[in-house]
Amino acid sequence: MKPLHDLPELLTALNPQAELVQRHLWLIALFDWLRGDCRSVAASVARIKLLLDAVQARPELTARLQAWWQILVDTIDGTALLADYGFASRSAFISEFFERIRLKLLPCTPETSDASALFSLVLCHRFDAQWLAALDEPALARIAVFLQPPVTMEANASRPALSQWQSTVLEALTFCTSQVSAAGFTPELRLRMSVPAREAAPFHCLVQDFETLRDVYLAAPADDSDERQAALQQFRERLEACRSAAATVYSHLDANGISVNLVFQLRQLRERLLRIRALMDCLFSNHPATSTARLLARLVSVGQERRSLRVLIAANSSMVAAKVAERSSETGEHYITRTRSEYRDMLRAAAGGGAVMSITTLIKFIVLSIGLSAFWSGFYAGINYALSFVLIQLLHWTVATKQPAMTAPAMAAKLKDLSAPGAVDDFVTEVTHLVRSQVAAVVGNLALVVPCVLLISGALRFAFGAPMISVKEADHVLHSLTLFGPTVLFAALTGVLLFASSIIAGWAENWFVLHRLDSALRYNPRITAALGAHRAGRWAHFMRDNVSGLTANISLGLMFGLIPAFAAFFGLDLEVRHVTLSTGQMAAVAATLGLNALNMPAFWWCLAGILVTGVLNVGVSFYFAFRLALRAHNVSGVDRVRIHWAISARWRSAPLSFFWPAKELPGKAAADKESPHG
């Protein structure tokens, strides 16, 4: 069918006896004309009225249009469109994810009797929802007259006839009600509802209440009797009770771990309840034509959302993100130092981490010297990093760059209410605590990794006659770590990996809690028989406390080792730039080259690169974690200018507070000790 660009051509081409695909192509062309350039709602509404005037002026055209419409509604199933359009065919998040990919990649054909597929081709633009919602009552009434098909059943005294549209809406309501009732009986939701919600059993009576309403309506479709109003009110109250019962599942998820699949099912259930209300308005409201236009506009919007992967992920993972941010916030509080004693503890913990990283540096050079393939070299390097990070965790030491992803949610949580008196000053004080803690962690790491690497290199020279790395390897390190190379890009990538490890850790902890694995470890008969009740309890307690840290450290180490290997497979020369590891490598270079290294410009450019690496490791990781936490905590409208000015003022008045804690007063120190974060 050739493109049709104006109304006369469209009206001439209207042929009720054309083949199915030609009729559907004509409908698509008509809505393309109505839509225009998608810039003016008023222009589209004017086109609708122009079309109505043209059809009304020609009786034979009116007859053709009505015949065309009757064939259309006889060919396609409008019930499925009204009841199911926009909903997932399966209740699993992953299945829906891949289904949306299919919808985005594979084209649809207009040669179909599926009303939903045809609807997505005809009303395929977000703009359609705007002009549909803008149609006024007179225009909608004229459209209804033109498209009014014959009644669907013989009229008789006991049961007046329904129009085909009313029959379709009623059947769609029947489908939606049965689907909501079935969803309420699924074990995943029912077992997680609150006890009062289960005892009230709203889903048990939902179908019965709808059948009562349907029978009253069928008995007298045009009679707005007291009996109908009572049945309508009862059904609406039952729908609200079902919504409230389903909402109690969120409280259970918040306390016991979030499941993306369960959140997905709950959102589908909520949308079906809203669809039922919209369909009821099409039958029972005082302005059914307006309600119908509003329903079609909503169907356009959900059709657009149905194709969006971003909407799917954002809508169904927001609770997981909030839970990850909440758990990270709780952990992050322990990484923020507020007193001098906490500051010294951070320095000691970071120094211990730096000592372990010196051994990590040695093993890294050993792995590289073996000459393994890219994958196995990356694999063993990842194992090296992972074991080092886990060892640091078990010894209660710290690595500086792992802190920002945990501390950012703690800072975002404090932005929820900046309207209170003194809230901005309190937040700036927390910023100084955070910056100071990061400085202490970095200084502690670097202060011990350098002498430890020098000591190890000296011991190797004494024992084997050669330092940790050769002169050739030292030159390669200088060439790799220089600020003039891709160090900035690699350091930023490392910051992204640090943030990603915190997300993986939060997800793993949520999954652990959701499936109650700590209880399973503690009480499962097979486990207690193998370990003994006391040891099983200790293992359960250990895993509950450390699952997040273990997951973060293992995932981070493996990403550090394997991502460069996988990137090399695609010809991408990516490397990890971690400030502590890079500093350890530079210490090995200094041990090999001796004091001559101080006279080499490349050495100093590498030190500048390490400084930039530290800033980017911390900054990028903190930025992404902070943005996620702001969204998870629903923090919006933050007065950034006011905060920036307050931080600048604090920097001018007390710059030392960003690097060294002030001496606390005795009363304040005691209060800090008693505080939960002290």
Say which residues have a Cβ less than 8 Å from residue 104's Cβ, sequence separation at least 6. Answer: 307, 309
In this structure, of 130-134, 192-196, 285-289, 644-648, the range with the lowest mean pLDDT score is 644-648
pLDDT tens digit string along 538-555? 999 999 989 988 999 999
**How many whole angstroms from its chain centre is CA 189?**
21
Is the pTM here over 0.75, yes or no? no
Six token digits for residue 552: 């973060």
Residue whose C-alpha is closest to residue 659's, from 501, 431, 331, 474: 431
- Please tell me the predicted confidence (pLDDT) of residue 567: 93
Q: Are 61 and 13 in contact (CB under 8 A)?
A: no
Q: Is residue 201 pLDDT above 80, yes or no?
A: yes
Distances (CA, A) of 311 to 96, 249, 253, 301, 302: 12, 22, 21, 12, 10
Q: Are 151 and 162 in contact (CB under 8 A)?
A: yes
- Please tell me the predicted confidence (pLDDT) of residue 410: 67
- Please tell me the predicted confidence (pLDDT) of residue 633: 62
Q: Is residue 155 pLDDT above 50, yes or no?
A: no
Q: Is residue 154 pLDDT above 50, yes or no?
A: no
pLDDT tens digit string along 511-521? 898 888 999 99
Q: Are 275 and 221 in contact (CB under 8 A)?
A: no
| H-type alpha helices, 465-532 | 471-481, 487-514, 517-523, 525-531
pLDDT tens digit string along 415-444? 666 667 777 888 888 888 888 888 899 999
Q: Is residue 136 pLDDT above 60, yes or no?
A: yes
Rounded CA separation 253/267 (Å): 14
Rounded CA separation 302/296 (Å): 10
- Please tell me the predicted confidence (pLDDT) of residue 91: 63
Calculate mean pLDDT across residues 445-451.
95
What is the pLDDT confidence band of residue 106, given thresholds at 50, 70 and 90?
A: confident
What is the pLDDT confidence band of residue 629, given thresholds at 50, 70 and 90?
A: confident
Q: What's the per-residue H, E or C state across 15-28? A: CCCCCHHHHHHHHH
What is the pLDDT confidence band of residue 159, given thresholds at 50, 70 and 90?
A: very low
- Please tell me the predicted confidence (pLDDT) of residue 333: 62
Other C-beta atoms lying within 10 Å of the C-beta of residue 644: 10
DSSP string computed for 320-355: HHHHHHHHHHHHHGGG---SHHHHHHHHHHHHHHHH
What is the pLDDT confidence band of residue 458, given thresholds at 50, 70 and 90?
A: very high
What is the pLDDT confidence band of residue 81, given thresholds at 50, 70 and 90?
A: very high
Domains and their CATH numbers in the chain: 325-673 (1.20.1080.10)
Calculate mean pLDDT across residues 377-388.
96
Calculate mean pLDDT across residues 165-181.
94
Q: Which residue has the tokens 């030190």?
A: 607
Rg over CA atoms, the chain: 33
Residue whose C-alpha is closest to residue 309's, from 476, 143, 96, 487: 96
Top-confidence residue, 99 or 606: 606
Q: Is residue 145 pLDDT above 60, yes or no?
A: yes
Q: Which residue has the tokens 């002030």?
A: 662
Task: Give me the half-sphere count of Cα atoms (radius 13 Å) on the Cβ side of residue 297.
Answer: 14
DSSP three-state, residue 210? helix
